[in-house]
Structure 1
Amino acid sequence: MEVKFNPNQLKKARLMRGLSMTELAAKSSLSRESISKYELGATKPRGESILKLANALKFPVYFFGKPDIVIPMGTVFFRSQAASTNKLREMQKIRLELAAQSLLYISKYIKLPQLKIPEPLNIKIEKITPEIIQRIASQTRKMWQLGNGPIKNLTNDMEANGIIITETTMHSEKMDAVSTRINDVPLIALTDNNESVMRRRFNLAHELGHILLHNSVENVFDLNNNKYKNLLEKQANQFASYFLLPDESFTDYLVAGSMNFFRQAKLYWNVSIAALIYKANALHLLSEKPIHLSAKANFKKSLEKT
Structure 2
Amino acid sequence: MAINLKTLGSKLAKYREQLKESIMEVASATGIDAARLIAIEAGQVEPSGDDVLILADHYRCDFKFFISNELVAPFEQTETLYRAHGNDFKKEDRRAIQDFLYLCETEDFLMRELGHPPKDFAFSPSGDYFKGHGEAAAARLRTALGHDDRAVPRDVYAEFRSVGVHVFRRKLGNSNISGLFIMHPVAGKCALVNHSEDIYRQRFSAAHEMAHAIFDSAQGASVSFDGPSGSDYLELRANRFASCFLMPPVFLKKLPPPNQWSDAETQRWANDLRVSCVALAIALKEAQLIDQANYDRIRRLRVPSEAKLDPELPDILNATQRLRKAHLLELGLSDFYVGLCFEGFSSGVISIGRLAEALLCSHGELDELANLYGRKLHGH
TM-score normalized with structure 1 length: 0.69
Q: Specify the alignment match of 2:143 in structure 1.
A: 142
**Shift of residue 235, structure 1, vs aligned partner:** 1.8
1:111 is matched with which residue: 106, 112, 115? 115
Distance 1:164 1:33, change over 3 A: same
Q: Specify the alignment match of 1:224 in structure 2.
A: none
Q: Specify the alignment match of 2:241 in structure 1.
A: 239
Contact kept, 8 Å, 1:168 with 1:189, in 2: the verdict is yes
Once residues 216 and 58 of structure 2 are traced to their aligned partners in structure 1, the CA distance between those partners, rounded to angstroms, is: 39
**Shift of residue 246, structure 1, vs aligned partner:** 0.6
Instruction: Give the 3-state SS of the residue equivalent to 2:173 in structure 1.
Output: coil
Q: Specify the alignment match of 1:159 in structure 2.
A: 161
**Shift of residue 175, structure 1, vs aligned partner:** 2.3
**Shift of residue 109, structure 1, vs aligned partner:** 2.1
Aligned length: 280
Q: Specify the alignment match of 2:271 in structure 1.
A: 267
Opposite residue 140 of structure 1, the aligned amino acid is L
Once residues 148 and 77 of structure 2 are traced to their aligned partners in structure 1, the CA distance between those partners, rounded to angstroms, is: 31
Write the deviation string for residues 121-176 of structure 1: whole angstroms up to 9, x where unpaired: 598xxx34322221111111111111112112212222233332234343322224
Write the deviation string for residues 178-216 of structure 1: whole angstroms up to 9, x where unpaired: 2233457422223343x4331221111111111112245
Distance 1:215 1:145, change over 3 A: same
Higher relative contact order (CA 8 A, sep 6+): 1
Cα RMSD of the aligned pairs, angstroms, is 4.5
**Residue 199 in structure 1 maps to residue 201 in structure 2:** yes
Opposite residue 286 of structure 1, the aligned amino acid is I
**Residue 292 in structure 1 maps to residue 295 in structure 2:** yes
Once residues 215 and 273 of structure 2 are traced to their aligned partners in structure 1, the CA distance between those partners, rounded to angstroms, is: 24
Once residues 20 and 106 of structure 2 are traced to their aligned partners in structure 1, the CA distance between those partners, rounded to angstroms, is: 23
Larger mean Cα displacement after TM superposition, 20-29 or 253-262: 20-29
Distance 1:13 1:168, change over 3 A: farther
Give the gaps of 5 or more residues in structure 1: 222-226
Q: Specify the alignment match of 2:63 in structure 1.
A: 66
**Shift of residue 277, structure 1, vs aligned partner:** 0.8
Opposite residue 189 of structure 2, the aligned amino acid is P
Once residues 59 and 220 of structure 2 are traced to their aligned partners in structure 1, the CA distance between those partners, rounded to angstroms, is: 34
Once residues 229 and 14 of structure 1 are traced to their aligned partners in structure 2, the CA distance between those partners, rounded to angstroms, is: 36
Write the deviation string for residues 83-124 of structure 1: whole angstroms up to 9, x where unpaired: 97366786566445423431353245211233322335598x
Contact kept, 8 Å, 1:21 with 1:36, in 2: the verdict is no
Opposite residue 292 of structure 1, the aligned amino acid is Y
- Percent identical pairs in the alignment equals 15
Opposite residue 67 of structure 1, the aligned amino acid is K
1:85 is matched with which residue: 88, 93, 109? 88
Give the gaps of 5 or more residues in structure 2: 66-70, 224-228, 309-380
**Shift of residue 10, structure 1, vs aligned partner:** 4.3
Instruction: Give the 3-state SS of the residue equivalent to 1:147 in structure 2.
Output: coil
Contact kept, 8 Å, 2:77 with 2:220, in 1: the verdict is yes
